[in-house]
Structure 1
Amino acid sequence: MKKLYFNYLNTFKGLSNEVWWLSLITLINRAGTMVIPFLSLYLTKSLSFTLNDVGWIMTCFGLGSVLGSWLGGKLTDKIGFYKVMKASLFLTGILFIALQFVNTFWGFCIGIFLVMLVADTFRPAMFVALSTYSKPENKTRSVTLIRLAINLGFSAGPAVGGLIITTLSYKGLFWVDGVTCVLATLLLINVLHPKKAKAVDETKAENPKSVFSDKAFWVFFVGMFIFGFIFLQYFSTMPLYYKDVHHLTELEIGLLMGMNGFFIFLLEMPLISWLEKSKYSKEFLMFSGLLLTGLSFVVINLTGWIGILLVGMLFMTVGEMIAFPFSNAFVMERAKKGNQGEYMAYYSIAFSMSHIFGHNSGMQLIDNIGFDNTWNFMILLSMIGLVFLLMLMRIVKKEKVVID
């Protein structure tokens, strides 16, 4: 047991101080995003919106995310990641606090669009910061550490969020979101100011190539869009499935979703450390992650037994643990020949577009064909995504042959 404990700790060795600080800032920020998993419930229960209304609101969520990711990449390449991160965190905090006072359909569409526009300028900037502060050999593990921070925040967030809803109200979630973003800004200013932080790897191409000329990236982009599309069902339609079909309370939903973050916090770093040492390519590992996520929808359609929800969550969690770090590392590696902000922006946009289409399509499908058929659709879509990732493996293999 002692050996296992020290082996676990060893997987964290060699990461720079700045990466640890960036992870803590992300943890503080994400701990406050407890409103997001409960957004569909808040809109239907507190504001009495229809599923159709919620679908369009989540589309606005995604549109803001796409534009914010694009803008964040542009601004990062022009003024640097630090200024973008600082402004994004602070303004997101203010906007989250203000969003609780919006109660009309069009008002909420505009409000959530603005929140995500500002919030997601942070993502490309954070990825470039992560790449800058990481040693080349540690980049995948650095990404994993950031994800651990995100998921530790998510594991605590929904559980605490469910408790806040039960004891207080949904309004308290917006206050916590806003305040934690402001706190994260203060920490960023104190520990990651350019004059205080030391860059480790500032790789910058002298004659950067446009991301639009990178064929492999766009095949990858489609695969990640599909992965994001089905993965995001766990944060919009799946909570409704838990409540309407299996009759779970908000607190039980929060605990079930919190389990996802807890397992990631406990197991992801050792898993990634082991997979990095294996013979498997990043492309194959992304394929495996999507396969497991697709299988999570297969298992929940097999039986009405409530325990199958835990099995489905476990499949999705392992798939997520594999797909996200290696997809991020894949992009950071390819970004060395172009503008890093641009590459990281379009990587973020793949998931932002998933927000646009995934949430709304999921809501509309549930409304029209029911939960079981919606999960069958997600299974079919995951199979299409797997085809694209197989294509990616072939393209990358050919690139390596040409280089050799």
Structure 2
Amino acid sequence: MPASSDLPLTDRIRRAAGETTGGLPRQFWWLWTSTLINKLGGFVVPFLSLYLTTSRGYPPSYAGLVAALFGLGSSISAVGAGVLTDRIGRRPTLVAAQLGTALFTAVLGFTDGQVAIAVVVFLVGLCNNATRPATSAIIADIVPPEDRVRAYSLNYWAINIGFGLSAAAAGLIATHGYLTLFLLDALSTLICAVVIFIRIPETRPAEPVGRPDEPRIGLGTVFRDTRFMTVVALNLLLALVAQQGSTTLAVDMGLAGITSVQYGLVIGLNGLLIVLLQIPLTRWMEGRDRTALLVASALFIGWGFGLTALAGSSAWFYAFTVAVWTIGEILNAPTMMGLIAELSPTHARGRYQGVYSLSWSLASFLGPAVGGVLLEWVGSTAVWGSCAVCGTVAAAGYAVLGRRPGAATAAAVPGRRNGTTAVGGPADTGPEPASAPAPASAPASAGS
């Protein structure tokens, strides 16, 4: 076979695409397709505050309260859906969450009154975020350990392609009435539920045939898993920083005299770079030290936002800062999801993914409030300086965690092998973790 550098450009692109997408199970691509469809129709959440303030005429304070209730619902469902994912299965949890999201999103379009809207938005957040633990657990169930970072990266890519296109289309659709947005969003979610129900079998491994006195893994076990909860805490720091990109950053740019058109172009750079760079950077990340990737991602995210303090009134400098933290986001997302899958014992993947998702839900609940208070009472320099500090602390935490041996904490969790929980090491190589499929006596139910 000729060397890659000797091939024509089209052949090199074709080979790279084959190496990036090849070897993944058919069920993964159905899940990927459903994710893309869902995000292509994800119109409501990004435009909810605008809908409440412009179309309904409610004050910004009410819009903020509704956003907080959405985050509260997401926080509750993160843990609850994780438990259901392990108890009743991945597919029923995911399908039920999508059906609930479709129903309440459609209902929201017809709801009137502040109390009624707040209640329905809470229910939308409750159902919407319940899909995360099940989706992540399915990927961990059906994709071999060496391919998980690549699979999570491709799924993340689909999310951003769908989000970017839906955000662009939503503005045009809203000119014909917001009700159309609600109904199309509900329809796309309903289609996802149908795809999952028809094309993806239950992937939860059968209960292992072990010793009758073998301890079961409950939520208490997850919260006592020191290494895992340290990773979740470090992720919460970065998630609080990342939340400023969709809230505080817009306000700060407005105060700096940046127009809404310029803001749209600047923030749109985030999605564009993810679409363009996610696959090439994923190929570059393969086989590299996971601790180094997590440290680098934390520094890029923290200091990318930190540099915003120097932007002044320059849209170009704001765009540069967005490019910096977007690279960190690209490095972090698949690497972290691969790590969480490895840290999760097979029969507790839903619980572990749910608690991990809780860090993002809490950030969506707390991040905008904290950023807004700092911006109003202390100033923008304090906001972006705090982001740089959080990124640096997270990077230091990953570095320390990567140097610690994993045997001590691994032994504390039933069903996990010693030595497979360290943060360090190649991102998708090494010994098979305990989260791999169960032995032949208890095969996973996912087929090829």
Compute the TM-score of the two structures, normalised by the length of structure 1: 0.88
Q: Map 1:152-301; keep pairs closer than 5 Å.
A: 152-165=161-174, 167-194=175-202, 202=205, 207=214, 209=217, 210-243=221-254, 245-249=256-260, 253-278=263-288, 280-281=289-290, 283-301=291-309
Structure 2 distance, partners of 1:396, 1:61, is 39
Structure 1 partner of 2:100: 91
Structure 2 distance, partners of 1:400, 1:68, is 27
- The aligned length equals 395
**Could you tell me how far 1:363 is from its partner in structure 2?**
3.0
User: Residues 264 and 321 of structure 1 are in contact (CA less than 8 Å); yes or no, is this contact kept in structure 2?
Assistant: yes
Structure 2 distance, partners of 1:238, 1:38, is 17
Structure 2: runs of 5 or more not aligned: 1-8, 411-417, 421-448
**Could you tell me how far 1:104 is from its partner in structure 2?**
4.4
Offset from partner CA, 1:64-97 (integer Å, 9 cap, x none): 1111111111111111011111111121012112
Structure 1 partner of 2:337: 328
Specify the structure having the higher radius of gyration (Cα).
2
Structure 2 distance, partners of 1:295, 1:163, is 35
**Could you tell me how far 1:376 is from its partner in structure 2?**
2.8
User: Residues 224 and 350 of structure 1 are in contact (CA less than 8 Å); yes or no, is this contact kept in structure 2?
Assistant: yes
Q: What amino acid maps onto 2:270 in structure 1?
A: N
Structure 1 partner of 2:427: none
Offset from partner CA, 1:148-176 (integer Å, 9 cap, x none): 110111111211123334x3344433233
Structure 1 distance, partners of 2:112, 2:259, is 26
**Could you tell me how far 1:245 is from its partner in structure 2?**
3.8
SS at match of 2:21: coil
Range with greater deviation from structure 2 (342-351 or 212-221): 212-221
Structure 1 distance, partners of 2:377, 2:178, is 28
More helix per residue: 1
Offset from partner CA, 1:350-401 (integer Å, 9 cap, x none): 1111112112222333343444443233233333333432332233567699
SS at match of 1:37: helix
**Could you tell me how far 1:108 is from its partner in structure 2?**
3.5
Q: What amino acid maps onto 2:37 in structure 1?
A: I
Offset from partner CA, 1:130-160 (integer Å, 9 cap, x none): 1112122211111111111101111112111
SS at match of 1:277: coil
Compute the TM-score of the two structures, normalised by the length of structure 2: 0.80
SS at match of 2:404: helix
User: Aligned Cα RMSD in Å?
Assistant: 2.7
Offset from partner CA, 1:30-64 (integer Å, 9 cap, x none): 12223333334334444444444343322212211
Structure 1 residues 50, 390: closer, same or farther in 2, change over 3 A? farther
Structure 2 distance, partners of 1:400, 1:50, is 49
Structure 2 distance, partners of 1:345, 1:321, is 21
Offset from partner CA, 1:237-257 (integer Å, 9 cap, x none): 3334445544433x6655544
- 1:39 aligned to 2:28? no
User: Residues 159 and 254 of structure 1 are in contact (CA less than 8 Å); yes or no, is this contact kept in structure 2?
Assistant: no
**Could you tell me how far 1:259 is from its partner in structure 2?**
3.3
- 1:364 aligned to 2:384? no
User: Residues 151 and 265 of structure 1 are in contact (CA less than 8 Å); yes or no, is this contact kept in structure 2?
Assistant: yes
Structure 1 residues 163, 284: closer, same or farther in 2, change over 3 A? same
